[in-house]
Structure 1
């Protein structure tokens, strides 16, 4: 196991001391090496000497995804390209991708953090990890891969897709840990059912799932269908990649590796820092990265921070499950709606498949929400009265819990497109 009690059970004062020392060094380095930060500091009237501890973090400017895009490709790098040994990038579906670079030391640090995260998630040296995150410019696949190797476990670098082969390798290679998106884990479970394969016949014990928000009810669904322990992992390319935080078996929040990342929760509108226990937008500052260090990066992810000591003994701050994103959040007739809220309602009712889409349109000046939900073959072939009853149950729950009316459309199995990566949950047809 890759367990570091000296680091992971430090007191809050010790964590603050390490963070303060590293933050001071970071601020000086980016001021002199990254023009964007030098100008951003000057605009706020800040010089490196003004930052003396982590208490001064709130005075520093935020970094936005647009800042990375505007500096494409290497403008945010703090080291020359000759010292960068690997490049990753986002998909760039809305324009130029965001580019991140890693020095050799960054890769060593990332591997060590990821090994810690995997250990936190129950991976051991004798584990066989089937890594179904995508390899390539996306950080997920290679991030997990190098962490598994650093830990000393066995990795199967299958990447995403090729579902029937995934299942064959689980059987033949004795996979004990599955890493992929939660929506793909459900898809694997569905495919096993169609193939007549009982998950209990496999050696699979654990799943570490991330890259998209998922609810507690989705966790229950995955655990029941695959017969495993399903844990959440968090990361994003701009901050490091996977491994920024990971759950332990207590399933009470993801441990953030605070010796490398300083987390904050802010009000996304006022940008004020919020206290622990308050829901808001997650912000990260990296304090050990060399290639592309980042200050107060607004993730757009909605979460909550908990500084209490975990039952597992780890003392680093934990983040709750991501509730959604400020840029995924739908505002429908003045009501904030996240896909995970709808997912939780559907899974709680339990008469539908875990595949759905929120389709928003505008009729005149009025927003209309339609929720397309898959039902089983038996239910879809049942009497119309049964389908009408289920529609009313779902509509009633959505109305009572979210405070908004929605049209429920029940569709046949496989009508909603599957994804081997992140599931597409929202289609917004409004011209906003």
Structure 2
């Protein structure tokens, strides 16, 4: 199902003309309304008149998360506060939180792009959407909520947590689409199995999972356990929230809604733009937002862009599933390691439960990596030599993939903390030394 066919299947030339028109308007807006953007552009010797083509975008300065913190709370807003009807914010665990603002038109835009996201998963007016993302200052819950209402679907605004009640209402209210993080979906699947609920008691058809990187192996696990179509979605508060991009049923990359967001891929070290097909850091420019637009915002998410048409009919550029974040990446003895790489090995082998944590430490001057992996009740009670065999198998696979030795430690069932939001995958003890 395509929600907005004229926009989502627009010819490339026509789309680029629309993007340029909107980009010019954006640059004018921030130059005259946001002193911080004006100062950056003047320092680069640029004025709005210098943006005459889409290629000129790369001449504009980047925006980074520290810029948002430095101008806390409203310093980067491009609309007066009397026009701001909603604010959201990050948790602010490291310094000032990131505060984003929305005008009424911004909320309409947000509803539009999340409606497209839900339509990618097959949602229509007959759908019952259980929103198990957190509500409040986090953008996940309300973003999906208003998109579902725009489609005309029935919304069950569960928010996160209270797993037993989640599952009861999932049955009683007949939820057909589940929206949450992939790690929480896995937790729900595990709880459904433990509660011995027959699959026919559930009407779930699809899940839209985002807010953290997840692998193809995790997709297969979720689809098998929940018997649904698992769709990856992408968004971040700084750009708009959920609704920046979504997979369609083809599952060949996430369609970026380019009539609202211009994507780039850059080399995170040189900051130079990379062509389609090359892996690098995602950068976004919002070309329709009024309250809190961003120009060339560095997301730190690692992906690849593809411009080839999709069999679904959508013409917008597709991004590969995020493989990790450049700032979440851990470096062990000079080797770049993403938690998603470990996840792919564990799920491919299928010898353990899909719950794990990476523990990084330093012994003397040497960094060490230990991977704790949870096993089932049956396996935990197995003979020691069989457990050791599994540890060695996982260790060999990880060494082959990562190019370094990691100690694998099998831990008892339920000993790794479950997440109702974003999963915590890394414990870095080096930071405490």
Quote how far apart the aligned CAs of 1:14 are: 1.2
Q: Aligned residue for 1:212?
A: 212
Counterpart secondary structure, 1:430:
helix
Quote how far apart the aligned CAs of 1:54 are: 1.1
Q: Aligned residue for 1:152?
A: 152
Quote how far apart the aligned CAs of 1:74 are: 0.3
Question: 2: CA distance between counterparts of 1:408 and 1:178?
Answer: 33
Quote how far apart the aligned CAs of 1:337 are: 0.6
> Unaligned 5+ residue runs, structure 1?
none
Listed as ranges, the matches of 1:236-247 within 5 Å are 236-247=236-247
Q: Aligned residue for 2:315?
A: 315
> Does 2:83 align with 1:83?
yes
Quote how far apart the aligned CAs of 1:199 are: 2.9
Question: 2: CA distance between counterparts of 1:112 and 1:280?
Answer: 28
Question: 2: CA distance between counterparts of 1:153 and 1:244?
Answer: 20
* Corresponding pairs, count: 432
CA offsets per residue over residues 259-298 of structure 1, 9 Å max, x none? 0000000000000000001010000000000001100000
Quote how far apart the aligned CAs of 1:36 are: 0.7
Q: Aligned residue for 2:353?
A: 353
Quote how far apart the aligned CAs of 1:201 are: 2.7
Question: 2: CA distance between counterparts of 1:314 and 1:171?
Answer: 34
Quote how far apart the aligned CAs of 1:2 are: 6.0
Q: Aligned residue for 1:398?
A: 398
TM-score, L = length of structure 2: 0.99
Listed as ranges, the matches of 1:170-319 within 5 Å are 170-319=170-319
Quote how far apart the aligned CAs of 1:198 are: 2.5
Question: 1: CA distance between counterparts of 2:90 and 2:3?
Answer: 31
Aligned 8 A contact 1:342 1:398 in 2: yes
Question: 2: CA distance between counterparts of 1:106 and 1:170?
Answer: 31
Aligned 8 A contact 2:2 2:8 in 1: no
Question: 2: CA distance between counterparts of 1:154 and 1:404?
Answer: 49
Q: Aligned residue for 2:106?
A: 106
Question: 1: CA distance between counterparts of 2:60 and 2:362?
Answer: 40
Aligned 8 A contact 1:2 1:151 in 2: no
CA offsets per residue over residues 62-100 of structure 1, 9 Å max, x none? 000110010000000001111100000001111110000
Counterpart secondary structure, 1:246:
strand
Task: Provide runs of 4+ in structure 1 moved above 3 Å.
Answer: none
Listed as ranges, the matches of 1:132-147 within 5 Å are 132-147=132-147
Listed as ranges, the matches of 1:41-52 within 5 Å are 41-52=41-52
Q: Aligned residue for 2:326?
A: 326
TM-score, L = length of structure 1: 0.99
Aligned 8 A contact 1:200 1:227 in 2: no
Question: 2: CA distance between counterparts of 1:409 and 1:281?
Answer: 33
Q: Aligned residue for 2:126?
A: 126
Question: 2: CA distance between counterparts of 1:220 and 1:405?
Answer: 27
Quote how far apart the aligned CAs of 1:323 are: 0.2
Q: Aligned residue for 2:30?
A: 30
Aligned 8 A contact 1:200 1:226 in 2: no
CA offsets per residue over residues 314-346 of structure 1, 9 Å max, x none? 000011100000000011111111000100000
Question: 2: CA distance between counterparts of 1:127 and 1:25?
Answer: 37
Quote how far apart the aligned CAs of 1:411 are: 0.3
CA offsets per residue over residues 343-369 of structure 1, 9 Å max, x none? 000000101111100110111111100
Question: 1: CA distance between counterparts of 2:413 and 2:14?
Answer: 53
Question: 2: CA distance between counterparts of 1:138 and 1:333?
Answer: 35
> Does 2:418 align with 1:422?
no
CA offsets per residue over residues 175-208 of structure 1, 9 Å max, x none? 1110000000000011111111123431111000
Counterpart secondary structure, 1:129:
strand
Aligned 8 A contact 1:130 1:157 in 2: yes
Q: Aligned residue for 1:338?
A: 338
Quote how far apart the aligned CAs of 1:416 are: 0.6
> Unaligned 5+ residue runs, structure 2?
none
Quote how far apart the aligned CAs of 1:108 are: 0.7
